[in-house]
Amino acid sequence: MAQDVRLLESRFVPTDEMAAFYAAHSASGGIVSFLGQMRGDGAELLELRHFAPLTLPGMRELAQTCITRWQLSGLLMLHRTGQMAPGEPIVLVAAAAPHRRQAFAAADYAMDHLKSESWFWKRERRAGQWHWIEPRADDYAGLARWV
């Protein structure tokens, strides 16, 4: 099983990442991806900070859980840190599996964990003022589905 988990400080190109992932897993029955990007809803910047000794190891552990639980043939998990402008990609999760339902479930599970139990602190700037963003109630409700 191929696992590609990366924490990135600079912008990535989702189409390039997915082309490489597809090429590596073209024999899989299903490949599912999710791309999260900064919304253009009035925020000027988004900043993600993290605690390095926990973040990448935690992401790798999450990836291994997905691989084991759904017998994936491949998993891609990319997450940005630092400052991002509207429209820039933040996170990309892709799962390859023998069957589509396994790939859908694994990608969904990974995103629910990244949204609510991640190792990131998020803040955004609006009208020149920074404020911290906490996970929402529906982020925690999404995670609770998997218990």
Q: State the Cα–Cα distance between residues 23 and 21, nearest whole angstrom.
A: 5
Is the CB of residue 62 less than 8 Å from the CB of residue 146?
no
pTM of the model: 0.94
The structural architecture, per CATH, of the domain 2-144 is: Alpha-Beta Complex (3.90)
Q: Which of 45-54, 70-79, 111-120, 121-130 has the lowest mean pLDDT?
A: 111-120
Q: What's the pLDDT score for residue 1?
A: 57
- Going by C-beta distance under 8 Å and a sequence separation of 6 or more, which residues neighbour residue 17? 76, 78, 92, 94
Pairing relation of β-strands 2-8 and 74-80?
Answer: parallel
Residue ranges covered by each domain of the chain: 2-144
Give tens-digit pLDDT for 56-106: 999 999 999 999 999 999 999 999 999 999 999 999 999 999 999 999 999
Q: State the Cα–Cα distance between residues 89 and 146, nearest whole angstrom.
A: 26
